[in-house]
Structure formats: structure tokens, C-alpha cells
């Protein structure tokens, strides 16, 4: 079950990072970065 959770988190992280790099509006980039940071911590199992 933990593997499924990590896989889902990694996919959502990849989508957030893709949105961060392709978006031109800085507000949407900031939002994507705020979403990516907790997901990055979850993927690396840092609490």
C-alpha cells in the first residue's frame, strides 16, 4: 500500500513540476511550487 501511495505522490509531483516549468504566469508558477514542495517531501519520506 505504501508503494501505491508513493507512486501516486510521485506522479502528482511530476505533473506539478511540469506545470511549474511550462507556465508563464508567475502566480501559477508560485502555486505549483507550493504544491510541489510538500509532495517532494512525501516522496522522499521526510516528515
The domain total for the chain is: 1
DSSP label at 44? Answer: T
User: Distance between CA 12 and CA 44 in Å, rounded?
Assistant: 14
Q: Are 18 and 39 in contact (CB under 8 A)?
A: no
> 6 is in which domain, residue-wise?
2-43
Question: Is a pLDDT exceeding 80 seen at residue 47?
Answer: no
Span 9-27, average pLDDT: 96
Q: What is the pTM of this model?
A: 0.87
SS3 content of the chain, % helix, strand, coil (to 5): 85, 0, 15
Confidence of residue 7 (pLDDT cuts 50, 70, 90): very high
Amino acid at each position: 500500500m505504501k508503494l501505491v501511495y508513493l507512486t501516486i505522490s510521485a506522479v502528482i509531483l511530476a505533473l506539478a513540476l511540469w506545470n511549474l516549468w511550462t507556465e508563464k504566469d508567475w502566480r501559477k508558477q508560485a502555486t505549483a511550487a507550493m504544491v510541489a514542495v510538500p509532495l517532494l517531501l512525501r516522496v522522499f519520506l521526510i516528515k
